[in-house]
Amino acid sequence: MLWNEELDLLDFLGDLKRTNRCGELRAADVGKTVVLMGWVHRRRDHGQLIFIDLRDRSGLVQVVFHKEQAPEAHAKAESLRAEFVAAIEGRVARREKPNPELPTGEIEVIATRLLILNTAQTPPFTVEDDTTAVEETRLHYRYLDLRRPRLTRNIALRHKIVLEIRKTMDEMGFYEIETPMLTRSTPEGARDYLVPSRVHPGQFYALPQSPQIFKQILMISGLDRYFQIVRCFRDEDLRADRQPEFTQLDLEMSFIRQAEVFDAIEQVMVRAFQTIGVTVARPFRHLLYKDAIRRYGSDKPDLRFGLELVDLTPQFAPGKQTLGLEGSVFGFAAPGAGTWSRKQIDELVEKGKAAGAKAVYTVKVAAEGNSSGLEKTLGAEGLKAIVAATGAKPGDLVVAAAAKQEIKGTEAAALVAGQLRLYFGERLNLIPKDRWELAWITGFPLFEWSETEKAWASAQHPFTGIFEDDLDLLEQPDRRGEIRSKGYDLVLNGYELGSGSVRIHRQDVQARVFRALGLSDEQARQRFGFFLDALTYGTPPHGGIALGIDRIAMLFAGEKSLREVIAFPKTAKAQDLMADSPSPVDSAQLDELGIRIKDVQN
């Protein structure tokens, strides 16, 4: 049957009113007359009886059409196909054979009347959780994809999380205040998305990388406690846990210290966790940045499992020359991995090298003795020292990574070992999936050396506060790396949920930071003049943070990709495959904006 020929089947909704959602009927409803509306999930034609599963966002229910009892509805049901939109009037009856897999499995609806409200083309994939469709197809037909129970559930969960956040923020006295989307560049360190101005040809707005400056100005405005569930835009290379537009819980508070920000966020997180029935304990643990790096090889450590790193540089020192070591060596004991095959170890070494290791070393620990390629260089005693340092037991594998420190102040070897730690965590099933480990990371340096720019850059953004004792170091170029920031991050299960800081609230200090970042006073004025001015009109001490809502929703939903919790996400190439954007525009539109496109290669 051709799609448009089916159109004469269609009924109008008339005055029919839905009484229930498909997924909510239970045994207690038996005997009730109901009107349901939804999509045909599946149809099974047994001649005298036609069964359909009717689906809406709440779930599925089985509907039965009896040829004898309701001949008209039964005849009509013969034309139902997958994803047709139907309204059904009927009576709830107990099923002879209940289906324990389905929440509505104890009942079925005996149809007395059927309205076909719309037809549907044959969908390119079945609307099921375990679809075989590739992601491109799913994103192209996102409206069908979103009908899958898993995505529907994720979207509902996201709504609940955001709602709970809003309630908690309100209870704590925060005002939700919108800040502009058409604005000017904010220094979060990514590329801006620009929007050309028609009224001012040749001039551009930038979409906000964050509302950072505006929220600080709201503190200068005396609004005291601001929050916003806000879209931010960063034109960066994308990864599974990044999207070009993403949503933050952004907040800022006046007359506070770090402790008050932590308190507010902990309350929010505790409440957000309630949406998935998880109780998290407060206060969250604190970890210094340098300890996070040295113990876990990451500034966003996954604290659900141990496998802590050990600095093995002293144990490797006797072999420094022979092994050609240029930096430090960090390692750990992988329990029970002493039996790993040659092939498994080769894979491990590859992993380490891909993560930037100069070399990856292993020692197999056994009751009869240790074995390792390192024995030639370090001797049996040397191996023993390594094994002792990592606390490895017979049956374990000691894994050590050596890397050259390319960037001042970073423990390159620890970062590589941290990647291998995660690899083993997965491989050895050491990561309990039902555990939630939140931690505050503090003690960040204010500046980081950027190899590409050959200059100091803000580790977070240039408004991050400074430890008062370190202020004088701002004017000592060779000691900039030592300046301690008042920044902090919140991490959850190996993901950075967000970062923030107590801010600089004095204009003189802010001007010195811009200078230390290599901005001349004129450049600083040109970019942030309005903000520097605002700072001179009575700025209260203030601070804040922003948390990634998409990431929180992804982790709570147990998903691995942000795309599973965003209704209309972008691909890794920053495209919307459904709306087909970005896309070329009419030359008339470009003319109006005074823009000419150079030859571009796609």
Which residue number has the CB closest to ligand ASP?
Answer: 210
Q: Is 301 in the site for ligand ASP (CB under 6 A)?
A: no
Q: Closest approach of Cβ 46 to ligand ASP, in Å?
A: 58
Least distance to ligand ASP, CB of residue 253, Å: 10
CB of 82 to ligand ASP, least distance (A): 44
Rounded least distance, CB 247 to ligand ASP, Å: 11
E-assigned strand segments in 255-342:
285-288, 310-311, 328-334
How far, in Å, CA of 43 to CA of 219, rounded?
59
Tell me 562's DSSP state. Answer: G
The single-letter code of the amino acid at 210 is S
Stretch that binds ligand ASP, among 217-225, 268-276, 441-449, 538-546 (CB under 6 A): 538-546
Please report whether residue 327 would count as binding ligand ASP according to CB under 6 A. Answer: no
Nearer to ligand ASP, 20 or 501 (CB): 501
Alpha-carbon distance of 241 to 550, in angstroms, equals 9
User: Minimum CB separation from ligand ASP for residue 234, in Å?
Assistant: 9
Peptide bond before residue 211 is cis, with ω within 30 degrees of 0: no
Taking the least distance from each CB to ligand ASP, the nearer of 544 and 569 is 544
* Residue whose CB is less far from ligand ASP, 249 or 329: 249
425 versus 543: smaller Cβ distance to ligand ASP? 543
Smallest separation (angstroms) from ligand ASP to the CB of 210: 3
| Least gap, CB of 133 to ligand ASP (angstroms) | 34
- Asked if residues 491 and 441 have their Cβ atoms less than 8 Å apart, the reply is yes
Q: Which residues pair with 270 in a beta bridge?
A: none
* CB-nearer residue toward ligand ASP: 155 or 497: 497
Decide: 123 and 117 in contact? Cβ < 8 Å.
no
Q: CB within 8 A of 286, min separation 6: which ones?
A: 439, 440, 441, 442
- To ligand ASP, the closest distance from the beta carbon of 218 in angstroms equals 12
| Residues 268, 171: Cα–Cα separation, whole Å | 10
Cβ-based neighbour number of residue 261 at 10 Å: 23
> Three-state SS across 75-144?
HHHCCCCCCCEEEEEEEEEECCCCCCCCCCCCEEEEEEEEEEEECCCCCCCCCCCCCCCCHHHHHHCHHH
320, two tokens: 């420094």
* 541-570 residues near ligand ASP, rule: CB under 6 A: 544-546
Q: Round the CA-based radius of gyration of the chain to a whole number and report it.
A: 30
Q: Which of 58, 168, 179, 212 binds ligand ASP (CB under 6 A)?
A: 212
Q: Whole-number minimum distance, CB 292 to ligand ASP, in Å?
A: 18
DSSP calls for 187-200: -SSSBPPEEE-SSS
**Interacting stretch for ligand ASP, rule CB under 6 A, among 71-79, 412-420, 539-547, 590-598?**
539-547
Nearer to ligand ASP, 319 or 500 (CB): 500
Kindly tell me which of 24 and 263 has the beta carbon lying closer to ligand ASP.
263
Q: Tell whether residue 188 is a contact of ligand ASP (CB under 6 A).
A: yes
Binding-site size for ligand ASP (CB under 6 A) equals 9
Q: Residue 62 or 485: which CB sits closer to ligand ASP? A: 485
Residues in region 491-510 near ligand ASP by CB under 6 A: 499-501
* Contact call for residue 210 and ligand ASP (CB under 6 A): yes
Separation of alpha carbons 51 and 73, rounded Å: 12
In the numeric block, the tokens 């290669």 are attached to 601
- Rounded to a whole number of angstroms, the minimum distance from the CB of residue 88 to ligand ASP is 49
Q: Which single residue is written with the structure tokens 């704590």?
A: 172
Of 23 and 544, CB closest to ligand ASP: 544
Quote the least distance from Cβ 544 to ligand ASP, whole Å: 4
The residue among 119 and 499 lying less far from ligand ASP, judged by its C-beta, is 499
Nearer to ligand ASP, 362 or 539 (CB): 539
Rounded Cα distance, 535 and 506, in Å: 6
237: left (phi over 0), alpha (psi -120 to 50) or beta: beta
The reply on whether position 462 binds ligand ASP by CB under 6 A is no
Biggest distance spanned by C-alpha atoms of the chain: 92
Nearest approach, Cβ of residue 251 and ligand ASP (Å): 7
Binding part of the chain for ligand ASP, among 60-68, 124-132, 147-155, 540-548 by CB under 6 A, reads 540-548
CB 220 within 8 A of CB 198: no
Kindly tell me which of 390 and 501 has the beta carbon lying closer to ligand ASP: 501
Q: Tokens 């017979």 belong to which residue?
A: 394
Give residues in contact with ligand ASP (CB under 6 A).
188, 210, 212, 499-501, 544-546
